[in-house]
Structure 1
Amino acid sequence: MPVVNRIADYSEEMKTWRRHLHQIPELGLDTVKTAAYVAEMLETFGVDEIHSGIAQNGIVAIINGQGEGPTIGLRADMDALPITEVRDLEYKSTVPGKMHACGHDGHTTMLLGAAKYLAETRNFKGRVALLFQPAEEIIGGAQIMVEEGVMERFDIAEVYALHNSPGLPVGHFLTTPGALMAAVDTFTINIKGRGGHGAMPHETRDPVMAACGMAQAIQTIVSRNHHATEDLVISVTQIHTGTVDNVIPETAYVNGTIRTFNPEVQKMVMARFEEIVKGCAVAYGVEAELDYEVGYPATINDAGKAGFATEVAREIAGAANVEGEADREMGAEDFSYMLQARPGAYLFIGQGDTAGLHHPEYDFNDEVAPIGASFFARLVEKAQPLA
C-alpha cells in the first residue's frame, strides 16, 4: 500500500489521537472536548490559522502553501452517537450511553494526519482549509457551517470528504460521479381516535386500525405511484400505541423515513402522504396530523472532481482497489450541503471486515487512518501542484 512515507512514520501517533478521541464521544453540536483536542493538535502542527466557534464547536484551520493559488477544502465530522459501547476495549468510551459508532473519531484522525503532513511539507500552492464539523448525525452541522459562510469567508473553491465503509477491504476506495447517496426525509403521523373497552370496539374510533391502514397504504407509494427505475425507499419504522390488552387506546403514533434522489419523486411522495393520511383519517373516523420533515439533500458529486479524486485514490491504493463508478446507495450524509455550495467529491474508504456502522460493537480500524491521510495529502498536492 503506497501510503505517503512521512505519514506512515507517524501511524502510531495517529492511533494515539484516534483512541483518545474514541474515549470522549460527544453528540451533535456539543463537541467541546473533541474540538479542544483538535485545536491543540493543530497548534502543535504549526498550521497558520485556527478559527473556532463555527457551527458552535466547529473548526476551520488554514495551511498556506507556497505561492498564490486557490483554497481546497477537506472535511471531517467529529460527533458521536447515543449508543452504549459493548466491547471491552482499553480505550472504550468513558461517557455512558455515547460512543463513536460511525468512525468519526477516525475521520477526524485522518484529517489531522493530513494536516500534520501538509503543515510540515507545504508542497502545494494556494491554501488548504481543514473543516472539522460537528453534528453530522443530527441537525446537519455541514448546513450550519455553509449558512455561516465558511465557503465565502475562506474562499474555498472545492471540497472533499471521506467516510469509512465496513465490508469494503482495507485501503479500497469507492465513489461515483453524480448522485452517490440519497436525500433523507422523515415523517410522523399523530392519530387521535376515541378509546374504549377492547370488548366494545363499536363504541370507539380505533387509532390502532388507522395506524395499520396508513402504514399499509404508505407502502403503495413505492409499489404503485412511482416509476420502477427511480430509486425510492419508504420505511415505516415505528408504531406506538396502547398500554394493555383489553383497552383500545385514544392515540397512535406512526413514524418512518423516506429516501429519494429525484426532487420530482420527493414532491410526489409528499403529495401522496398528505392524501393518504387525510383519506385514511376519514375512512377510519379518526383525526390525523402529518409532520413531514425535509432532511439532508442527496449527496451529489461533481463529475469532474469525482474523476480527479478517483485518480488520486488509484495512486494511493492501486487501480484494482478503486471503484470510480460505483452504484449509488440509499444512506444519507450532510456533506451534501457542502457539495451544493461548492464542487467536490465524497468517497468511501475500506474499513475491512468489522461490525457495521451504528453498531454497539463497531470500532474504527486504525490501519485505515494513514491511508486516508495520504489520500487527503496527495489530493492537495495534485490539485494545487507547485510549478
Structure 2
Amino acid sequence: MSVKEKLFQLLEDKEQRMIEIRRHLHENPELSFEEKNTAQFIADFYQDKDVKVTTNVGNGYGIIVEIKGNGEGKTIGLRADFDALPIVEEADVEFKSKNEGVMHACGHDGHTAYLLTLGEALIELKDEWRGTIKLIHQHAEEVPPGGAKSIVESGILDDLDEVYGMHIFPTFDTGVIKIVSGNAMAGRSNFDLTIQGKGGHGAVPNKTRDALMAGSYFVTQVQTIVSRNMSPMDSTVVSVTAFDAPGGYNVIQDKVTLRGTTRYLEEENKEFIRERMEAMCRGIEESFDVTCTLDYVYDYPVVYNHPEEAAEVKRILEGGVGNYLTEVVDGAPGSGSEDFSYYLLKTPGTFINVGARPVGMEDPYPNHHPKFEINEDALLICAKGLGDVVLSRLEA
C-alpha cells in the first residue's frame, strides 16, 4: 500500500472525529484577535505528538506545527484559519453558536478541523515521507491587518519552498474543486472620509458650508475612478458603503462621515485609486469651502496563484477525480479578498477553492451569511486533496 493510500485510509477512519471537531469549533466561535480558547484547543491537540509546536506567532494567537519527515527534502506549508465573524447565527443546526453575536460563517471551523486531522495523519506516517511540513494555524483572517502578514514577518516560514491552502464555499457543488491560475482574489483597501463644513438653519443654506452636499458630490464623483479612468479590461470596484449625517429636519449638519472599500485584481491599481480619491477631495474642498480628511488604508494584497504550482495542483487533483473528487475545473477570479495573499507574496503556491453545497439546497447561503451552512462531506475532500498535494510536491 502506498503512503497516499495509507493516508487516505487514516483520514477516512478519522472522518467522524473530524466532523465532531468542526462542530465543537462551530459551537464555540471567537472573533479575530480574541481566539484564545480556540488556539488552546489547537495547541492541546498536538500536545502528545512528536512535533514542534510554536504558539503566539505573529500579532495574535498564530500556531506553527513543524512535522519532520524521514530525511531531507522540501519544506511545504499548509494553512488553515480559525477566527469567526460578528454575526448572529440563523442557521438551523444542532451545533449552533453558543457565543451570541459570533458565528463561524465563513467555514474556518471546517478549515481547522480538516487541517488538524490531516496533520495528525501525516504525523502518524512521518517515517514514510521525506522533507518537512509546517502546519499554519492562522488567527485573524477576517480583520485587517490580519494574521498572515505578521506570521510571514516573524521569519518562522522563511524556509518554505511552497505553500498551499484551501477554502470552503457552499455556493458550488460538493466534490468540485476550482483552481485559478494567476490573479485569483482581489486586493482590498478601505477608506474613511470626514468632510467638515459649517452647519446652520435649513431655511438659510447660504449661511452654511454644506458638508452633506459635498459628501453627496463625492459619492457620485468617486464612481468615475473606475468608469472613466481605468481600462474596461481591469477588474476594479470602488464602493461607498456608509454615509453618516444625522440631524433634524431644519438643521444642516456641520460634518458628514463616509466610508467604503476598493477591490482590484491588478495590484498596480491600488496606488492610482488612492491618488484619484485624494485629488477629488482637494477639488471638493475648493468647490464647497469645506475640509476633507481622508484616511485610506491599504489592506490585503491580490491573491496571486503562481502558475507553475497552480498547474501542478490541478494535475495532482485531477488524479483524484472518480475517487474522492467529481471534477476539477478552472475557476474565475473573484472580488473577495484573503490574507493568504501574504504567504504567496513570499513563497510559490496556490490557494484552492472547494465546493461544499449542502444536500438539497439549490440556492445555498454564501459565506458571511447568518444562515451559512456547509456539506460536511467537504471536510474529507479537503483533507484528502491537501494531503494528495503535499505528498506529491514533497516527492517533486
- TM-score with structure 1 length normalisation? 0.94
Which structure 2 residues correspond to residues 1-387 of structure 1 after superposition, within 5 A? 4-44=8-48, 46-55=49-58, 56-122=60-126, 123-138=128-143, 139-152=145-158, 155-318=159-322, 321-323=327-329, 325-352=330-357, 353=361, 354-385=364-395
Instruction: Tell whether the 8 Å contact from 1:151 to 1:341 is kept in structure 2 after alignment.
Output: no
Whole-angstrom distance in 1 between the partners of 2:50 and 2:107: 24
Instruction: Tell whether the 8 Å contact from 2:114 to 2:380 is kept in structure 1 after alignment.
Output: yes
Q: Secondary structure of 1:252's partner?
A: strand
What is the CA distance between 1:320 and its match in structure 2?
6.1
Instruction: Tell whether the 8 Å contact from 1:42 to 1:115 is kept in structure 2 after alignment.
Output: no
Q: Secondary structure of 1:179's partner?
A: strand
Amino acid at match of 1:132: H
Whole-angstrom distance in 1 between the partners of 2:50 and 2:164: 19
Amino acid at match of 2:154: E
Q: Which residues of structure 1 form unaligned runs of 5+?
A: none
The structure-2 alpha-carbon separation of the partners of 1:371 and 1:47, relative to structure 1 and needing over 3 Å to count, comes to farther
Instruction: Tell whether the 8 Å contact from 1:100 to 1:363 is kept in structure 2 after alignment.
Output: no
Q: Secondary structure of 1:156's partner?
A: coil
Range with greater deviation from structure 2 (232-241 or 85-94): 85-94
Aligned residues: 381
Whole-angstrom distance in 2 between the partners of 1:313 and 1:253: 48
Whole-angstrom distance in 2 between the partners of 1:317 and 1:278: 57
Instruction: Tell whether the 8 Å contact from 2:32 to 2:139 is kept in structure 1 after alignment.
Output: yes
Deviations 1:101-123 (A, max 9, x none): 11100011111121121111233
CA-based RMSD of the aligned residues comes to 1.7
- TM-score with structure 2 length normalisation? 0.92
The structure-2 alpha-carbon separation of the partners of 1:209 and 1:125, relative to structure 1 and needing over 3 Å to count, comes to same
Q: Percent identity?
A: 36
Q: Secondary structure of 2:157's partner?
A: helix
Range with greater deviation from structure 2 (116-125 or 371-380): 116-125
Deviations 1:241-298 (A, max 9, x none): 1222221111101111111132432222111101111101221221111111111110
